[in-house]
Amino acid sequence: MAKNSGRRCWLEYRQGMREQFHRRTHISQKLSVALSDNEFSLVYQPIINVTTGSVIVVETLVRWNSPELGVVSAEELIDAAEHCGMIRDISSWIYKQACQDFIAIRNRFGEQVLLSVNISGLQILQGSVVESLVDALADTGLKPDDLVLELTENVMLPDSTEYAGTINQLVAMGFGIAIDDFGSGFSCLAYLNSIPADWVKLDREFVRQLNKGTETIRCINQLINALGMQVIVEGIENQTQSHQLKACGVLNQQGFWHSKPIGLQGLLKGSGELRKINDM
Ligand code: C2E
Ligand code: MG
Ligand code: MG
Ligand code: MG
């Protein structure tokens, strides 16, 4: 019986792997045409300081509504692009477009606003990210310190020596660095003081755990601030969560409650989706 069910699990697992492989292959085959036919688009999700109500950073997120495949998630798109060698070209397009859009975003929200972009670990490994970013800046006259690069924690660990050279180069050039999704993987607090980041984005799992108490987040926030880094909490979906976090001293907040990711025109119009925090 146990043997049979074990076998069924294994078969389902293999079946799942096969489907995932086919899906990835299918997506990969469309990427090149999608890029040249301009099928990708960008949305922006603000990060807000809840004491001042001002937008401090705007995060860039890629979107793809394929005529053949329908909506492909950002995660699937990036995963396929990494596997088929398209990550460099697609990322270059994303950075260029985001930097162009950012001129209008800054005019709308003020000089203090920064632009953040997500960086795939593979691009750090390949080193191609430096050239892609430099090109995007050159096209628009922006400076490295206008940008925040969001890197996941596995890329940032001090013993990830294969990433370190490129990360140090980016830091030396003046780019801001954020650790994305901190707390979602094998986050080790002991490493925090040797990571060259300016921002730590706490994963939305911390928000989910708020109903069990606020001490963890209060202490982590203090610890990260004491190490000279700023905290952002992502995935805030309602007013209660936002208030709880504010009471814990977490002032930089991002999530559907404040604003869903939104196209450039919607963001510029601030069409009601960008929640004013002052009146909360
Ligand atoms: P991420 O950088 O951690 O982005 C946050 C994700 O959470 C986004 O999903 C966003 O739409 C979603 N989100 C934001 N607020 C909330 C909330 O309050 N509740 C919930 N449930 N979700 C929220 P998205 O856009 O599907 O992106 C998923 C991941 O794909 C990103 O995670 C990032 O790792 C990657 N990604 C997205 N765009 C890019 C890109 O341009 N380049 C690279 N390399 N990766 C990207
Ligand atoms: Mg991110
Ligand atoms: Mg994140
Ligand atoms: Mg993520």
Q: Tell me if residue 72 falls in helix, strand or coil.
A: strand
Cβ–ligand 1 distance for 150 under 6 Å, the answer yes
CA of 71 to the centre of ligand 4 (A): 18
Closest ligand (CA of 80): 1
Lowest mean pLDDT among 102-106, 241-245, 270-274: 270-274
CA of 6 to the centre of ligand 3 (A): 35
Q: Is 45 exposed, middle or buried (0-12, 13-18, 19+ CB in 10 A)?
A: buried
Percent residues over pLDDT 70 in the chain:
94
Given the CA of residue 181, which atom of ligand 1 is nearest to it?
3
What does the pLDDT read at residue 2? 52
Q: Tell me if residue 142 falls in helix, strand or coil.
A: coil
ipTM above 0.90, yes or no: yes
Q: Is 6 exposed, middle or buried (0-12, 13-18, 19+ CB in 10 A)?
A: exposed
Q: Cβ of 216: how many Cβ atoms within 10 Å?
A: 14
Nearest CA to ligand 1 atom 26: 74
Candidate from 234, 254, 275 with most ligand 1 atoms within 8 A of CB, to mutate: 234
User: How long is the chain?
Assistant: 280
Cα-atom radius of gyration of the chain, to the nearest Å?
20
pLDDT tens for residues 199-248? 999 999 999 999 999 999 999 999 999 999 999 999 999 999 999 999 99
Closest ligand (CA of 79): 1
What does the pLDDT read at residue 153? 81
Whole-number Å distance between alpha carbons of 217 and 207: 9
Nearest CA to ligand 1 atom 20: 235
Whole-number Å distance between alpha carbons of 42 and 64: 9
In the predicted model, what is the mean pLDDT of the chain? 91
